[in-house]
A and B are shown apart, each in its own frame.
Chain A
Amino acid sequence: MEAMEGEGRSEMEYTEIETTAECLDSSVIFHVVTDILGFVLFMHQQIPSILQDISLEFDGLQTEYKELEIVLAQAEVKASLRRQHAGRMKEVKQGIKRLEKVMKTVSGLRTALQLMISEIPDIQRVMLVLGTSPIRPQHVYEMCFSHGKIISIGAGDFAKSKAAEGLSRKAIRTLISKGAGSDSHAGPTKLFLLVKAPTSFNMPLHFLPKRDFRYSKKIVPFRLRFKCKAQFKETEGQIFVAQTADSISSKDCTPNDLIWFQCRHVVKGLVTKTSPTED
């Protein structure tokens, strides 16, 4: 991969992750990015448990709230039980309020990423930046995707395949082995998602162009490059594009035509209270 002018990074700094899959389809890229995002949020103490557990907890609270509403709407409920349910409803409501913002943002970010990948199936670079602002980060995670055959999946088809699961796990193992999260400190911060795309890319509801974006050179990023074992050969390969989407290909662009786009959905870390009383 060419080093971009002004970035001054070495080829050697990427950790290569090879997949046995013939290609990195849109679904695989989506799940790898979002799984790493969840891992980064948890390991850097921005969420109290892994994203999957928080998601289950949030869904559970919402379901419980609806059930309590139904019970309390019944006239024949005993007064003592009514008070009990009302008390529990208050707790559940507080729980929902605590998690709602982060869940909503993560959901928005996932939707934005899906839309972007649908439009640019051969997405090549994604960055997760943790800090108060993208230009002054505490931690940076860069992902580079070297595609084999470029396959654009049908709109809405982002189901998690076994291949995606396997590759996500491998990526996270690599980050762990490299010490990701070891120098993390408590205190809420923000997580920004940036994606490199052609200048013609236009999705203002979800992404804002950040021409000439660069972050502080003091930060050493974690860099992963995902490669297929069977690399795309220009003479033999085929490019499949979705019939309805006006897909933009990064491959048709020169490096100067690609710029960073920052996702509007910024994840703000949850404040975790460390209780003085411990077991």
Chain B
Amino acid sequence: MASRTATKDIITLRGSAAIVSEFFGYAANSILYNRGVYPEETFAKVKKYGLPMLLTQDEGVKTFIANLTAQLSDWLESGKLQRVVLVIMSKVTNEVLERWNFSIETDNEVLEKGVAREKSDKEIMREIQAIMRQIASSITYLPCLDEPCVFDVLAYTDKDVAVPFTWIESDPKLIANPQMVKLHSFNTKIHKVDTLVSYKNDEWDEE
């Protein structure tokens, strides 16, 4: 009988940081598409994680996300990143409507000793795929965003991190009395990413 154990791949800190920061890029694009923050026609379809993924073609947003993922990768490699939050706000009132929260736990032994870990790439991709499906189906379980929206990204880092010049210190942009849904997690064995979306309760939505 053939073994069904997946082959394990070596994961380094740098490799894991690359996987996680790339995930943020695609997740951010998917959120912006599926929550209708930008029009459908400004996105192009590509294949990633075995799924059709939508990537923005808006140069401004593209550049913003590219710079974001590069910075996140740096922070991930140095073990300084605790959380990334994509915030969706009303364009008119600036009220925070949704917070897509990605919490990160980093393996300290890997940071301190530079060891590598083993995990099947395929397994990591499968876990990421599950999260992407949840983002893609968000219209079926989150209230509709019926007004024009804008987004922002918050990074929670260790206190000793110098603020890069393209970032500013911010308030947490919280939602008053939010409802929450915990989504799937993925784990590279070096970085564990938990996903949670909190949202403003819609009058028609049941608690």
Q: In the complex, are the beta carbons of B206 and A42 less than 8 A apart?
A: no
Q: In the complex, are the beta carbons of A20 and B206 less than 8 A apart?
A: yes
A1-41 interface mask toward B, CB cutoff 8 Å, 1 = contact, 0 = none? 00000000000000001111000000000000001001100
- Please tell me if A251 contacts chain B, counting CB pairs below 8 Å: no
Q: In the complex, are the beta carbons of A186 and B50 less than 8 A apart?
A: yes
Residues of A within 8 A of B133 (CB): 42-43, 45, 181
Residues of A within 8 A of B46 (CB): 278-279
Q: In the complex, are the beta carbons of A173 and B204 less than 8 A apart?
A: no
Size range of the chain A interface in the assembly: 35 or more
* Selected contact of A168 from candidates B55, B140, B182, CB within 8 Å: B140
* Selected contact of B55 from candidates A162, A169, A185, A279, CB within 8 Å: A279
A257-279 interface mask toward B, CB cutoff 8 Å, 1 = contact, 0 = none? 00000000000000010110111
- Please tell me if A200 contacts chain B, counting CB pairs below 8 Å: no
Inter-chain CA distance A278–B136, complex, in Å, is 18
- Please tell me if A84 contacts chain B, counting CB pairs below 8 Å: no
Q: In the complex, are the beta carbons of B140 and A38 less than 8 A apart?
A: yes
Between-chain CB contacts (< 8 Å), 16 pairs = A17-B206, A18-B206, A38-B140, A48-B52, A163-B204, A166-B205, A166-B206, A169-B140, A169-B142, A169-B143, A170-B207, A173-B141, A181-B134, A185-B126, A278-B48, A278-B49
Given contacts A169-B142, A186-B50, 16 further A-B contacts (CB under 8 A): A43-B134, A49-B52, A50-B139, A50-B140, A162-B204, A166-B202, A169-B143, A172-B137, A176-B181, A176-B182, A177-B182, A181-B130, A182-B184, A274-B47, A274-B50, A279-B46
Interface set of A (CB-CB < 8 Å, partner B): 17-20, 35, 38-39, 42-43, 45, 48-50, 52, 162-163, 165-170, 172-173, 176-177, 179, 181-182, 184-186, 272, 274-275, 277-279
A-B interface, 10 closest residue pairs, ranked by CB to CB distance from nearest? A279-B46, A172-B141, A170-B206, A274-B50, A162-B204, A173-B141, A166-B206, A278-B47, A173-B181, A169-B141
Interface set of B (CB-CB < 8 Å, partner A): 46-53, 55, 126, 130, 133-134, 136-137, 139-143, 181-184, 202, 204-207
